[in-house]
Chains A and B, each alone.
Chain A
Amino acid sequence: MSIFTPTNQIRLTNVAVVRMKKAGKRFEIACYKNKVMSWRSGAEKDLDEVLQTHTVFVNVSKGQVAKRDDLSSAFGTEDLTEACTQILAKGELQVSDRERQSQLEHMFRDIATIVAEKCVNPETKRPYTVILIERAMKDIHFSVKANKSTKQQALEVIKQLQQSIQIQRAHMRLRFVLPARDGKRLKEKLRPLIKTVENEDFTEQLEMVCLIDPGCFRDIDELIRCETKGKGTLEVLSLKDVEEGDEKLE
């Protein structure tokens, strides 16, 4: 029969609980919100700024403290701080609002940066700036998915952006040298994969410099390797075909 008097209760407000199951027991610690991620990334170095109390609980909300025996069997130590750091490092946690927000923001930026790096304005052959891409992403109401890699999402975004602004993957510049007998046959097969042919020289062997979409690289590579049985060579001249240097508008 407990009497609810304010004096004999320590209420933990603003709690983020980190849980861990070890040796068949459940352990919890009480942390401050928005701090656990910082601790894990190494930005926060003061343990007291992370932990509300150096106590290991079985259930934080009920205030049940873990038993000493359980602790030593699970962590091999009776030192509470040591147990806390272990739980902090490996336990599962609730991601707090600000943490999630900043994580999504980072990912959004990251995606925009990747898109800006990979793409150009087809008219000017110059890249877009990250800020512009971000704005375009917001315009098409793109939302970040936290559990997908940024690169994967960036590739999706490019497809979606193409409907609203003038954008395309920066072309790759390739050169391949094919033996004469394969040349003719292969050329027909390669044609649909190539965007523009810059230079073509068909004397004793077929030599071609062309621009391709980076997505087609694997196919072209496969095609040339299999069809010529390793006699054709493929060389990447530049990963990204963009204008270099500053240009004065006149």
Chain B
Amino acid sequence: MGHTSLEKIIALQKKTPHIRNLCILAHVDHGKTTLADCLVASNGIISSRLAGKLRYLDSREDEQIRGITMKSSAISLHYTTGGNEYLINLIDSPGHVDFSSEVSTAVRLCDGAIVVVDAVEGVCPQTQVVLRQAWLENIRPVLVINKIDRLIVELKLTSQEAYTHLQKILEQVNAVTGSLFTSKVLEERAEKDAEAQSSCTENGSGDQVYDWSAGLEETDDSDLYFSPDRGNVVFASAIDGWGFSIHQFAEMYSQKMGIRSSVLLKTLWGDFYLNAKAKKIMKGAQSKGKKPLFVQLVLDNIWSMYDAVVTRRDKEKVEKMVTSLGLKVMSRDLRHSDPKVLLSAICSQWLPVSQAVLSMVCEKLPSPAEISAERVEKLMSVGARRFDSLPEQTQELKKAFLDCSADETAPVIVFVSKMFAVDSKALPQNKQRPLTQEEIAQRREQARQRHAERQAANQSAENALCAQTEALSVKTAVEEDNKEHFVAFARVYSGVLRKGQKVFVLGPKYDPSLALRALPEGCSAADVLPSVPHMACCTVDSLYLLMGRELEELDEVPTGNVLGIGGMEEFILKSATISTSPSCPPFTPLNFEATPIVRVAVEPKHPSEMPKLVRGMRLLNQADPCAEVLIQETGEHVLVTAGEVHLQRCLDDLRERFAKIEISASKPIIPFRETVIRPPKVDMVNEDMGKQQKVAVIHQVKEEQTKYPEGVQVDSTGLVTLTTPNKMATVGVRAIPLPEEVTRLLEDNVELIRTMEQFSLFAWEDKTLDINQKILENIQEFKVKLESNLQGRKWRGAVERIWAFGPRRCGPNILLNSVEGYRRPSVWQCLEREKETEKAEIRDFDNSIASGFQLATLSGPMCEEPLMGVCFSVETWDMKLSAPLAQQDSIDEDSQTAEPNIDNQNESSDTHETNAAGSSVDCYGPFSGQLIAAMKEACRYAFQAKPQRLMAAMYTCEIMATAEVLGRVYAVLSKREGRVLQEEMKEGTDMFIIKAVLPVAESFGFADEIRKRTSGLASPQLVFSHWEVISSDPFWVPTTEEEYLHFGEKADSSNQALKYMNAVRRRKGLYVEEKIVEHAEKQRTLSKNK
């Protein structure tokens, strides 16, 4: 067949009933792209000799090198059968689990799917996934069992064995479909039950009748299953270029044997055999030990063919077969040394795979016009919204969907499922085409002129400059050319999309009901409209026909076709809906089977190329449906991808296409928190503490001395007293662990605390901040909750005495005012605005104490990470300041309390001791600075006086796994310090859902490992959940006899907390207590030879 011309395809695009949009889905390496190659070859786009080897649709370089497909790509094919001409928009999809997002984008645009299954491997994890995806998108699948040649050549099965093998595979596939069906029915049933129950309770009727039948019996599911006699199964070997459905053989044999083809069709697959004597087809081949019909009539022929051509290379027999089949094989193929060449030459004529597959597709899969109402409703109702709840005008659009008409009046509805980057060179506008005679003449003229100019330039320097600028402009033009262009991968659901048409681009969060209210009735995209969120108006720049790696320009695309739209990168991020009607709802978001979980930090090799990296990452985000990029608070640029292979592709893309710089990816920085706990009751070997006598260790005594420098007094209860260097002030601080609930409460109410903080800041300046009633109520509630959680003698009145929150004034740590005789305005003053009777005095340097606390909580002593869940209680605070100094400071501290007479005094004293007191007058000058430092140090020592612990960020991880890999999932979890919270079976399936928690620090590579270990049968989803105290003490050394026995003197068995702490300290360049050389004697001796 020759190359189909563009005009032909354009003509075919208009005949909606003769269009088939389909995608090829399968597990990785089951032969999707090879099959696509065969189909492409049938259109003469590539040579049929190269089909299966070229992998035409794998246009990326790394796809070719790795041999896996990484993106979905479309091609339009032409097929004629029985006088009907069909246009087939074929989308090839990747099979690797990392790229399942690409599958989602492909499935959405199709009406049917070809599910390919390897005849040897059978149903694999991804096969299940794609079947589920097809099911969820309501598209009809057909089955291709591929690689039958492997059964013959590799496994060396007999035809009889192969038949049973194929039967098993078919059963597996049908089992998956069946389970999908049952789970859906059960779900519906549950919904119905829930409704019924709610109505029951409403009615209050006493007797309830339970219906225990699962409802499966009532629902018919027979048309879901794959069966050769239904004609929705093709047996094929795409690499050898052959494939058949039972139809072909039925027709072939009905003539030969004189049995009606309809009978043959029913009996060719199944437990039937041919009774040679009676010339009758009988049932029960298996029980009677006869060859089933399928084996006898179909498989045996193929087996003998392979036997003759590949195994025995029997030339005569081959020739006989060829002539009996009525084929013509070129003598070049006959002589070829590789039998595969001959085989594919024969087979591709005898049973061409494209014929079998395409005819099945045209017969069995629906055309765009036959879109089901159910699917339309599903597409149109976003999220949990019911279709009925959409505005009326939107509901009317359903008709447009169902009509699928290419009328002028029909509203245009287009869905863009992804954006893909195309080199500007590949765009048809920029493609080189043969020049016409005039153009050649024109160019010649230009060249001549340029030549003349150059000669002139040689004579004068001025011209040289001119030429230089010209060269520069040429250069910029070249740079412009290298820009990436984005093409939207889309499908028209209704109407005709034209070049230059004005359309609305609707983002995924667009709400038609909002827009309809804002926009005038019957407006179109061409009018000037008020801006509506998530909606933009734009003109369609260019339309493309997707032909694999090539693009052909089109002027208009009628309904039902897959197309590319250019010039949309400004308006569309990843996916969008394009329509001429503002009432069109955005399509339901694509359901991605894999959510991005592999996180890496990306950095440019040369720090100066940062802007390029950011730009590149933006482009990458747009081009990849599944990748996420974000900048973290730490300044890291984080790239989140679906898996390791996906990550590799994203990095390659960044390097070579989008950023064009050298980059490096590394483990992202893992945050920790520091906290204190109540002294533990038991030691490391679970012995009661305090009873045994400690074994004296020399170094411990030494450590105790070095821990606290001079001037710091620590008493046995953990009260730390510290005096400022100028001996003016002394503070006593104690650290107390906060109950867990309080910490959580503080974390959840950051916004409220911030508001409170703002209020007191304003109050401090005698201004008032208006807070609305709702927030006040929330604050009140927050306070009550805090009080209820801080019960007991220790915490009496604590909530009223809260001085500040930290770090950053709103964190999960508390500064408590326990100074006797000091009442300061509470942090809750916004609640007590009315009943404010006595004004509490703020002591001087109040702010310094709070600042010291803020600094201390921002970076703890263990590894300079923020504190969490610690309460610092200031118990003593003595000032020994000379009076005038204190007064001056008070003026600076808060001018509101400054009275005029002090003011005078201040001025006079100022003139006297400008230099002497000058520096200490200011509240941020040395003295307050000293106090801040002293407070900070006091907090740190108070913290260290208590048992310190590290807190690790935890992910909750939800893992779906089948029963057989459950053990391996547990192994991976426990290796990475994970903890399983619960495990339950998902109703209606054989999947288990495991909920576990896992430290973020251990999560790098976790998803990938679990996937590898379970061969893809389990996939985890990680979400940050909470902070958890790591139970081991990072400073622990064995002290008791039992501990010595258990851990040895050095206790070098791994201490999780110490490991984390040292890693952070090393990263930050802090001192790490470790020996440079472990064994002194084992160093290399560099002595002279004496």
**Chain A residues close to B by CB (< 8 Å):** 11, 13-14, 32-35, 37-38, 41-45, 49-50, 98-99, 102, 106-113, 116, 120-121, 123-124, 126-133, 135-136, 139, 164-166, 177, 221, 225, 229-231, 233-234, 236, 243-250
Contacts and interface: CB of A to CB of B under 8 A. Distances in A.
B401 to A, nearest CB: 30
Given A32-B1081, A44-B1075, A250 B888 contact: no
B608 A166 contact: yes
Nearest to B698: A45
Contact of B699 (A42, A225, A231): A42
A248 B629 contact: yes
Given A35-B1080, A129-B636, A246-B633, A42 B611 contact: no
Contact of A107 (B634, B1068, B1069, B1085): B1069
A229 B633 contact: no
A19 to B, nearest CB: 19
A225 B921 contact: yes
Contact of A34 (B702, B888, B1083): B1083
B654 interface: no
Contact of A106 (B918, B1069, B1083): B1069
Contacts of B605: 135
B666 A123 contact: no
A98 B458 CA distance: 64
A42 B706 contact: yes
Contacts of A116: 635
Contact of A247 (B630, B925, B1076, B1081): B630
Nearest to B1090: A11
Interface string B621-658: 10000001111111110000000000000000000000
Contacts of B171: none
B910 interface: yes
B614 interface: yes
Contacts of B1076: 34-35, 37-38, 98-99, 102
A230 B1073 contact: no
Q: Which of B607, B614, B633, B918 has the most CB of A within 10 A?
A: B607
B630 A221 contact: no
Given A32-B1077, A106-B1071, A230-B907, 17 more contacts: A33-B1080, A34-B1077, A35-B1076, A37-B1076, A38-B1077, A41-B1071, A42-B702, A108-B1069, A111-B1069, A129-B601, A130-B1067, A131-B603, A139-B606, A139-B607, A230-B891, A246-B633, A249-B618
Given A13-B1087, A37-B1076, A50-B1080, A132 B607 contact: yes
A89 B82 CA distance: 100
A98 B1077 contact: yes
Q: 9 nearest interchain CB pairs?
A: A109-B1069, A32-B1080, A110-B1069, A127-B635, A13-B1087, A45-B699, A136-B607, A34-B1077, A249-B629
B669 interface: yes
B1068 A14 contact: no
B778 interface: no
Given A35-B1080, A113-B1068, A129 B603 contact: yes
B1079 interface: yes
A165 B1074 CA distance: 35
A109 B1068 contact: yes
B610 A166 contact: yes
A43 B608 contact: no
A127 B631 CA distance: 10
Given A41-B1073, A106-B1069, A128-B635, A221 B922 contact: yes
Interface of B: 573, 601, 603-608, 610-611, 614, 617-618, 621, 628-636, 666, 669, 698-699, 702-703, 706, 888, 891-892, 895, 906-907, 910, 918, 921-922, 924-925, 1066-1071, 1073-1077, 1079-1081, 1083, 1085-1087, 1090
A233 B1075 contact: no
Contacts of A111: 1069
17 contacts: A11-B1090, A35-B1075, A42-B702, A43-B1073, A106-B1071, A110-B1069, A121-B610, A129-B634, A135-B606, A139-B606, A164-B607, A165-B607, A166-B608, A221-B922, A230-B891, A245-B633, A250-B621
Given A43-B1073, A102-B1076, A14 B1083 contact: yes
Contacts of B606: 135, 139
Contacts of B1067: 109, 130
B631 A126 contact: yes
A225 B914 CA distance: 11
B635 A129 contact: yes
A243 B635 CA distance: 9
Nearest to A237: B761
A130 B630 contact: no
Contact of B910 (A13, A109, A133, A230): A230
Nearest to B666: A131
Contacts of B1083: 14, 32-34
Contacts of A108: 1069
Nearest to B638: A246
Contacts of A120: 635
B740 to A, nearest CB: 25
A249 B178 CA distance: 42
B1069 A249 contact: no
A106 to B, nearest CB: 6
Contacts of A45: 698-699
A34 to B, nearest CB: 4
A174 to B, nearest CB: 10
B487 to A, nearest CB: 19
A246 B1087 contact: no
A132 B1079 CA distance: 34
Contacts of B924: 221, 234, 236
Contacts of A247: 630-631
Given A41-B1073, A126-B631, A126-B635, A250 B1080 contact: no
B1080 A49 contact: yes
Contacts of A44: 1075
Given A35-B1080, A233-B895, A249-B614, A128 B631 contact: no
Contacts of A124: 614, 631
Contacts of B614: 124, 249
A63 to B, nearest CB: 13
Contacts of B1090: 11
B1037 to A, nearest CB: 10
Q: Which of A49, A135, A230, A249 has the most CB of B within 10 A?
A: A249
Contacts of B634: 127, 129
B607 A113 contact: no
A139 B1083 CA distance: 33
A197 to B, nearest CB: 19
B628 A248 contact: yes
Contacts of B1069: 106-113, 130
A106 B1071 CA distance: 7
Given A126-B635, A131-B603, A248-B630, A38 B1075 contact: yes
Nearest to B608: A165
A12 to B, nearest CB: 9
Contacts of A126: 631, 633, 635
A116 B1073 CA distance: 24
A43 B1058 CA distance: 14
B405 to A, nearest CB: 36
A249 B617 contact: yes
B601 A249 contact: no
A246 B603 CA distance: 17
A136 B1090 CA distance: 47
A243 B633 CA distance: 7
A250 B921 contact: no
Contacts of A132: 603-604, 607, 635
Given A33-B1083, A35-B1080, A249 B631 contact: yes
Contacts of B907: 229-230
A229 B666 CA distance: 54
A106 B906 CA distance: 49
A71 B232 CA distance: 101
